[in-house]
Chains A and B, each alone.
Chain A
Amino acid sequence: MPTNNADLHCEISQQSPIPLTAKFSCKAGEVLAVVGPSGGGKTTLLRMIAGLSSSEQGKIECGGKTWFDDEQHIHLSPQQRHIGYVPQHFGLFPHLTALENVISGLDHIPKIERKARALDWLERVNLHGLPARLPAQLSGGQRQRVALARALAREPSVLLLDEPFSAVDRETRERLYMELARLKSQLSIPVVMVTHDMNEALLLADKMILISQGKMLQQGKPFEVLSHPCNETVARQMGLRNIFNAEVSGRDVDANITWLKMGEQIIASDSAPELVVGQQVRWVIPNQGIRFNAITSGRLCRSINKLDIVIESMLIMGESVRVKARMADVDEVFNMDIPSHLAEKLSLKSGLATTIALKSEQVHILES
């Protein structure tokens, strides 16, 4: 895809106050999720893009304009970058009404047009009838939408969202997901969203970067990163718990298959990385790649990937059940989250011996 001059390009590196290295691009109209554990440098990265803090080295460009370049000593202020920024706690001005909050970001347009534009954006985020309310008189979700309207009404060159859904309740969060997904289709600017929630990235982002301890571990489409983590650290950061040892028992490069051996069990993986037969490897499978036998589609899973297991424990966690099951002939344990209704339908219970099937395209061999 040719480079659009509205794209965001960021390459930064610093050692202090916290080490942080990252290099990525975000195309106009694309949502980039910056995912990682707390304290990993996500918010610092977002603040650097916003111009609220500076990196020791690097370059940030957006819309063909250089925002930051340590070699040329360029560091544009947030005011000069013309961005839309929604902080974690929304950053609404508590003494100004919702309308005034939105208008406060519109100094760059003629005074006469400001109110109409602000009202229009409040409508677009479904806040009609509330422009005269102070932030304290709004719910968490409404505040978030005022902050979003304030950021977007500026027609920014990039939209930066710092954990935009962390301060609202679950029901509001679900509604806001839908709204952001709807807005996304209308925006033609890069959107960078910081989150520690992988599900948010899977739901809303076109691309994600994973940052941990100041290092960018992997980037790509969220589902690809989830199903193909480049190494065990990434797999663990993504919350993948089913990581196992195995021995390479065969490869077919033409058919793009690698066979792994765990005890007497053979597991097929739809990938053929550079490995030699007999080599010890680590492999991973996401929750979505595991199916209980009763609901397995034969088309999706190779028969070779059927494993006998014994359920050790079941922990009910709201609408899902966390199942811990031990492989019959290998001392390895699978952890799976399945919907409660499904567990009930399949009559799953502790001590039950059953079968699971692994989707071969989701059996991913990790780099050593």
Chain B
Amino acid sequence: MDWQSLWLSAKLSTVTVLILIPMAIFVGRFLAYKQFRGKSWVEALIMVPLVLPPTVIGYYLLVGLGSQSLIGQWVEQFTGTQLVFNFSGLVIASILVNIPFAVQPIQRAFETIPHDIPDAAACCGMSWWRIFLKIELPMIWPGILTAVVLCFSHVLGEFGVVLMLGGNIAGETKTISIAIYDSVQAFDFEAAGTMSLVLLVFAVSVLAITTSLSKRLGGHNANQQR
């Protein structure tokens, strides 16, 4: 069992979720409420990581963030570190790859809020922030929870993009999925089996808890007067 890889994967998942979910809340809200020209193109662009092979995404990120690219050179100049083969590069990649998993459930959750409710809240004298925090956020919790679980689990199991962009550096870019692959390559089936079981148990538990929580959180909204 490669505890270091498990810890790295958990860290990567947590950092990704912490950065991505707040952004997804605002993007999801914007897409749910606003109508604008080119909206379907923006929505399609957000969905691209779902249909593009991870190796292709990894390749473009490698080229786009590498030391030969403008972004890569700029980051190296200011921070002294490279984005590729580095934990921060993995965070950027994980965020980009998981955008659809974060935005979609949250956007759908916002879309289920009847228009009457924010209107009524505004007419109750509540400010934009108060409506967002006190009315909308509690109503979209199931969507946020789904987004968190999807992103966390997806980052934990991400393989192609991580391998392309981060390689296999222990403690830096060697996540649990890569550790499993490594173990299999080295015919260490016992370690691969243990790590796979850990991921399996984690996935099933998280899904069970999410379903139960979603039902409880969504219970208030289930009988909304529409």
Contacts and interface: CB of A to CB of B under 8 A. Distances in A.
B185 interface: no
A182 interface: no
Interface string B213-226: 00000011111111
Interface string B105-147: 0000000001011011111111100100011001100000000
B117 A91 contact: yes
Contacts of B223: 94, 135-136
Nearest to B137: A95
B125 A135 contact: no
A79 B225 CA distance: 23
A115 to B, nearest CB: 16
Given A79-B122, A83-B123, A85-B119, A92 B139 contact: no
B125 A108 contact: yes
Given A136-B220, A136-B223, A93 B122 contact: no
A87 B116 contact: yes
A92 B125 CA distance: 14
B122 A52 contact: yes
Nearest to A162: B116
B36 to A, nearest CB: 14
B124 A105 contact: yes
B126 A104 contact: yes
A43 to B, nearest CB: 11
Given A104-B134, A135-B225, A136-B224, A94 B120 contact: no
B198 to A, nearest CB: 36
Contacts of B121: 91, 93, 104
A335 B220 CA distance: 49
A215 interface: no
Nearest to A52: B119
Classify the interface of chain A: helix, strand, loop or mixed: loop
Contacts of A89: 114, 116, 225-226
B117 A93 contact: yes
Interface in B191-226: 219-226
Contact of A79 (B117, B127, B135, B138): B127
B225 A90 contact: yes
A139 to B, nearest CB: 11
Contacts of B116: 87-91
A243 to B, nearest CB: 38
A91 B120 contact: yes
Contact of A107 (B122, B126, B219, B220): B126
B225 A92 contact: yes
Contact of B125 (A95, A105, A140, A160): A105
B123 A52 contact: yes
Contacts of B126: 79, 104, 107
A278 to B, nearest CB: 56
A318 B122 CA distance: 42
Contacts of B114: 89, 91
A345 B59 CA distance: 89
A93 B123 contact: no
Given A88-B116, A93-B135, A94-B139, A107 B224 contact: no
A143 B122 contact: no
Task: Point out which of B120, B125, B219 has the most chain A C-beta atoms below 10 A from its C-beta.
Answer: B120
A84 interface: yes
Interface string A42-83: 000001001110000000000000000000000001110011
Contact of B220 (A82, A134, A150, A167): A134
Interface in A127-151: 134-136, 140, 143, 147, 150-151
B139 A78 contact: no
Contacts of A79: 122, 125-127
Nearest to B220: A95
Contact of B221 (A94, A108, A160): A94
Please list the 6 inter-chain residue pairs (A to B) with the smallest Cβ-Cβ separation, ordered nearest first: A91-B120, A136-B223, A85-B123, A91-B116, A105-B124, A87-B116
Given A94-B221, A136-B220, 19 more contacts: A51-B122, A78-B122, A78-B123, A78-B125, A79-B127, A82-B125, A85-B119, A85-B120, A85-B123, A89-B116, A89-B226, A93-B117, A93-B139, A104-B124, A107-B125, A136-B224, A143-B225, A151-B123, A167-B225
15 contacts: A50-B119, A79-B127, A87-B119, A89-B225, A91-B119, A91-B121, A92-B117, A92-B120, A93-B117, A94-B117, A104-B121, A105-B125, A136-B224, A147-B120, A150-B120
Interface of A: 47, 50-52, 77-79, 82-85, 87-95, 104-105, 107-108, 134-136, 140, 143, 147, 150-151, 154, 160, 167
